[in-house]
Structure formats: structure tokens, C-alpha cells
Structure 1
Amino acid sequence: MYQVLFKRLEGNEELALPARMSEWAAGFDLQAAVPAPVVLAPGERKLIPTGFAMAMPAELEAQIRPRSGLAYKHGITCLNTPGTIDADYRGEVKVLLVNLGQEPFTIERGERIAQMVFQVVPAVSIKESSELPDTVRGAGGFGHTGV
């Protein structure tokens, strides 16, 4: 099991730390640490603070993903999804939200706005080569498999 340290930032002591909302949930829900309600107009994007910073082992990354309920009901999602938080980042975790819906959406303090999923990052080395091994697919790209 990996241990991730969380630090509540000043002025956010009453907000819950990220938490799983069910026993087998993959994601930890993140709350908005906005000082006052924030309105996202249709097509608008804003960076929303969470009120915490964290430290995780070098073997992990944290991915920020949308909450399905907000996406389905209101068209609220995350840009650059999944957003990656690297293990060496120590600043406040923030969520880049966008309103793809038809109506303005108000983000309230303490509202669950996204989820964070931790993933193991494999150790990878890069080696330059003048030749690559052949495969059946070869260089077939977008749409190559008929989808």
C-alpha cells in the first residue's frame, strides 16, 4: 500500500480531505475550496482550488478526472482529462473545469467537483533505434482498425 500525505492549506480547515465515496471506488472525490460561489457560464473554463497540497511516492501519479454526475446532469467536465499531478509537485491541487452545458453552473464551497485516481508509473527507459520490429498493424493510424 502506498501512503500519500495531504496538507490542508490555511483557511480550508473545515473542508474534507479527498475521500472515496464507496468501498470499491477508484477515485477520491475533490471539493471546491472557493471562498465564494463561482459561476461558470456555458463555454467558460476556470481553475478551481481544492484547498490542499500533497506528497506521494515517486512511483505514483494522481489523475484528475470528471465526476460523471456533473458531466451528465450539467455538462461540467475537466479539461486536459485526465490531468496529471506528478509526484514531485507540492503546490495546491487545482481542477480545470469547463461548462459544456447550456446553462450557467454555480460552484459552491465544499461541492464535489472532480475525482482523483492514483496510478503506478512504470519505470521506463528510452533507447534510440534506427529500426523498429514489424507488426501486423504497422504504421496504420487513426481509423485503421475500422472504428
Structure 2
Amino acid sequence: MTESVDVLIMAREAPLYAHPGDAGADLVAAEAVRLEPGERALVGTGVRIALPDGHVGFVVPRSGLASKHGITVVNAPGTVDAGYRGEVKVALLNTDPREPYTIREGDRIAQLIVMPIPPVRFVPVDDLPDSTRGDGGFGSTGYQKDGASS
């Protein structure tokens, strides 16, 4: 089992994990917002945290909101750096082309995932080592369906 990480928090209600073993803790709206079709809004959560150095918070969509109502996080995952001390806000987008969606204060709107991030040094070189993938980019992996490559 992984050792827990203490995250200092200022909030009316701390984010909660819905089930044991969940990766993301639910963030709730601290304000009411109505999202018209295609509209986006920055929604406050009332949560301020101090992540330990070497950790990052990722704000990700809730699958139920996305699948049932088309509500997603625009910049998913949103990144909360260890040095940030402001309110965690969520950039929500209503992707439904017809139906508006109303967010009430206290509604679960996103999840916060806290992860360790190792320090990285970028080392300049003249050549990179070979790999199986090479320089293949977007769409380069494809897949076979009924004998046809896509």
C-alpha cells in the first residue's frame, strides 16, 4: 500500500473520495452557474490547497456529468502546481448542442487527482536513441478493423 500524502487545505468542505481506492476526490461547486449549450464557465470550488513539493493536482471531468449531460473540463486535465495557493477553479464546458445545464452550489463538478511528479532535468543532446515508435505522431499507430487499417 502506498503511503498517504498530507495536503494542507482551506475549504468549507474538503474534497471527498466516493469509494475506497478511488483515484479522484470530488470537487464541488461553490457557486451556482447555468451553462447554455456550447457555453463554458470558470466555476469556483472554494478549495485552496498547498501541495507538497514534488506533487501535482490534476482536475479531471466526472464521467457521469460527461456521459449524461455533456459537461466536461475544457482544459482536462487542469493542472494545480505545488506552488499555487489560490482557489481551485474548474473550467467547465457544456458540449450538449441543445440542452442547458444548471450547476447548483454543492454539486460535484470535477475530481482532483494528486500525484507525485519527479524532478526532471532536460539534457541537451545531438541525437535521440532509437525506439520502436520512432517519430510517428498523430494517427501513426492506427488499428485493424475488418482487415482495413484506419
* TM-score of the superposed pair, with normalisation by structure 1: 0.90
Corresponding residue for residue 103 of structure 1:
99
Instruction: Kindly provide the amino acid, as one letter, of the partner of residue 22 in structure 2.
Output: A
Instruction: Kindly provide the amino acid, as one letter, of the partner of residue 6 in structure 2.
Output: Q
Q: Which runs of 4+ in 1 moved over 3 A?
A: none
Corresponding residue for residue 110 of structure 2:
114
Corresponding residue for residue 42 of structure 2:
47
| Structure 1, gaps ≥5 residues long | none
Q: 2: distance between equivalents of 1:136 and 1:74?
A: 40
Q: 2: distance between equivalents of 1:32 and 1:110?
A: 5
| CA positional deviation for 1:90 | 0.1
| CA positional deviation for 1:80 | 0.9
| CA positional deviation for 1:108 | 0.3
Aligned-residue Cα RMSD (Å) equals: 1.1
* TM-score of the superposed pair, with normalisation by structure 2: 0.88
- Residues 65-124 of structure 1 show CA distances to partners (whole Å, capped at 9, x for unaligned) of 001111111100101101110000000010000000130000100111000011110121
Selected match of 1:79 from 54, 57, 74: 74
Q: 1: distance between equivalents of 2:132 and 2:56?
A: 33
The 3-state SS of whatever aligns with 2:91 is: strand
Corresponding position: 1:27 with 2:43 = no
The 3-state SS of whatever aligns with 2:64 is: helix
| CA positional deviation for 1:143 | 2.1
Corresponding residue for residue 8 of structure 2:
5
How many residue pairs are counted as aligned between the two chains?
139
Q: 2: distance between equivalents of 1:38 and 1:138?
A: 46
| Structure 2, gaps ≥5 residues long | 144-150
